[in-house]
Amino acid sequence: MKKRLTNFFTITLCLMMMACSNPKGYYSMDYTVSFDTIGHYLLVELNYSSEQVESGDLVLNMPRWAPGYYEILDFAKHLTDFKVTDSKGNPIEWAKEGLNHWRIPRPADGQLRVSYRVYANQRDVASSRVEKEVAFVAPCGVFMHVDGEQTHPVNVRFNLPQGWQHISTGLRPQKEDSCLFSAPDFDVLYDSPFLLGNFYTKQFSHEGHDYEFALETPDGAEEIGLADDFKRIVSAATQLMGDVPYDNYCLIHMGEGGGGLEHQNSQACYTDGTYRFETRKAHVKFLAFVAHEYFHLYNVKCIRPAELWPLNYDREAITPMLWVSEGLTCYYEFRLLRNAGIATPDEALELLSTYFSLYAPYKGQHHQSLRQCSYDIWMNFMNPDENGKDVRINYYFKGPIIGLLMDIDIRRKSGHKQSLDDVMRLLYNRYYKELKRGFTEEEFWQACAEVAGQPLTEVRRLVDTTDDIPYASYLDDAGLRVDTTDWSIRQVEAPSAEQLEFLKKMNL
């Protein structure tokens, strides 16, 4: 009897501790979003319901930035008419704290309703937009989480305006309600943009996974075979990485605007408003853009610098490794198109040369290292000064060139038995799948050394310093050269047998 009582109290204590340490079980957060298509507003309501009597105030946070968009955006600046009522409709006084926190006294019955409006009229991939026939909802600037508890489940329901037909996102709708979506935590919700309204959609399956195209301006998409090219990009990435980290994927393309943003099982991009490209070069460049955002689902959504996992939406995630996340993804743009059979060797090198020409002729490379650029991007991402090219660089431009040099160096150090691809696979399998965490700076370079069989000492120096890059000492082995008349990287005119073999192994 005593032993049973001891076990009873032990089990009870454990359950109480679990309830205190894990907030998922005792409150719910249910959002409803409606649309003001004339005033460009999202009308947001949150029903908060707690199963337990809780002490202390409830603090709600709205993110200050969106992952992948490395700039503090302070989404709360678009919010107005914040109101709180109890279960009987009585107003509850609240207090604003800082730029993005709202402190609310908890009612005795644990029930309250929060409402506010979000102005949504910007054409960028991190911001929301509401128009007459369509809306783009970027969740980081719309939904609030409980302070310190972004791992809590959340439900979102959309009240569509009359005549709106579609909701496209990486999340799956509930079977009983196509307008209701559930996310296991706010990280997933914040990583799941929505396109809603009237637009072109296409669903298909490829290699065991479901896909959806949601195209706001689909002119020319069918004619150019966009779906077929996308499938080839997916297949090339799957073959390279050996895995697909999603069940379904949604490609959201909007009209005229700027930029693209990667997500775990979707991409949200602005286009030129048409898929009828005037030149072959423009067509290939666009597909490289699509490939870039797609490969990000591996390199940054899964293969992450340690500073980006877990995420803190209140402050900058400063890391010296964004050149890996962004710069190497730029390198894999042309690799994927080449492996997919979409781009010719000359077209692939032309893509790479475009990046080279955007930093190599300028003085900034002598004043800022690639590593330092990763730190400082939070100040410079969308804030170019007139002297920018004279004093700093961009990891989007220098990063893929370093990627090329790394790939060449690993291949020759390992006798062509290994490549940069093997580094990416090692990081993906070890840190994302096995350890379930990000990698540190030292762990990245250790992974490179493990794959190559020896450290990449010289390449690391080129990343960490502003020293001149001895391009010929890398490119010659691969049968490539730098043409400083137009700052391009090309094949040598009469490659040797060894150089031809190197080019063949690199698929160039």
The CATH code of the domain that includes 150 is 2.60.40.3650
| Residue where one domain finishes, among candidates 297, 319, 346 | 297
Residue 442 in any domain: the answer is: yes
Between CA 346 and CA 490 the distance in angstroms is 8
At 53 the pLDDT is: 75
Query: Do the bridges between strand 177-183 and strand 173-174 make them parallel or antiparallel, or are there none, so unpaired?
Result: antiparallel
Residue 317 in any domain: the answer is: yes
At 33 the pLDDT is: 99
Which residue's structure tokens are 């669903």? 203
Q: Are 505 and 411 in contact (CB under 8 A)?
A: yes
Say yes or no: 356 and 495 in one domain. Answer: yes
CATH code, domain with 479: 1.10.390.10
Say yes or no: 116 and 259 in one domain. Answer: no
Say yes or no: 109 and 257 in one domain. Answer: no
Say yes or no: 29 and 95 in one domain. Answer: yes
Between CA 253 and CA 128 the distance in angstroms is 14
Those residues with Cβ within 8 angstroms of residue 148's Cβ, 6 or more apart along the chain or in another chain: none
Which residues does the chain have with pLDDT short of 70? 1-25
* H and E: helices and strands count for the chain: 15, 22
At 258 the pLDDT is: 79
Number of domains in the chain: 3
Say yes or no: 383 and 472 in one domain. Answer: yes
Say yes or no: 189 and 226 in one domain. Answer: no
Q: Are 253 and 271 in contact (CB under 8 A)?
A: yes
Task: Tell me the pLDDT tens digit for each residue of 345-372.
Answer: 999 999 999 999 999 999 999 999 999 9
Say yes or no: 279 and 416 in one domain. Answer: no
The string of DSSP codes covering 127-179 is S-EE-SSEEEE-GGGT--EETT-TTS-EEEEE-PPTT--EEE-SSPEETTEEE
Say yes or no: 108 and 161 in one domain. Answer: yes
Angle at 125 between CA 299 and CA 203, to 5 degrees: 75
| Residue where one domain finishes, among candidates 273, 297, 321 | 297
Between CA 450 and CA 470 the distance in angstroms is 24
Residue 250 in any domain: the answer is: yes
Residue 16 in any domain: the answer is: no
Strand order in the sheet with 145-146: 95-97, 101-104, 58-61, 145-146
Residue 6 in any domain: the answer is: no
* CA 407 to chain centroid: 24
At 10 the pLDDT is: 37
Task: Tell me the pLDDT tens digit for each residue of 305-318.
Answer: 999 999 999 999 99
Domain, as residue range, for 226: 199-297
Buried b (16+ CB within 10 A) or exposed e, 297-315: bbbbbbbbbbbbbebebbe
Beta strands (DSSP E) in 165-309 are 166-168, 173-174, 177-183, 194-197, 200-206, 209-215, 248-256, 260-263, 266-271
Say yes or no: 178 and 63 in one domain. Answer: yes
Residue 18 in any domain: the answer is: no
Say yes or no: 47 and 184 in one domain. Answer: yes
Model confidence pTM above 0.75: yes
Residue 428 in any domain: the answer is: yes
Those residues with Cβ within 8 angstroms of residue 305's Cβ, 6 or more apart along the chain or in another chain: 319, 321, 322, 324, 325, 438, 439, 440, 441, 444
Residue 80 in any domain: the answer is: yes
Nearest to 460, CA basis, from 471, 446, 445, 475: 445
Say yes or no: 235 and 345 in one domain. Answer: no
| Residue where one domain finishes, among candidates 196, 225, 253 | 196
Say yes or no: 84 and 184 in one domain. Answer: yes
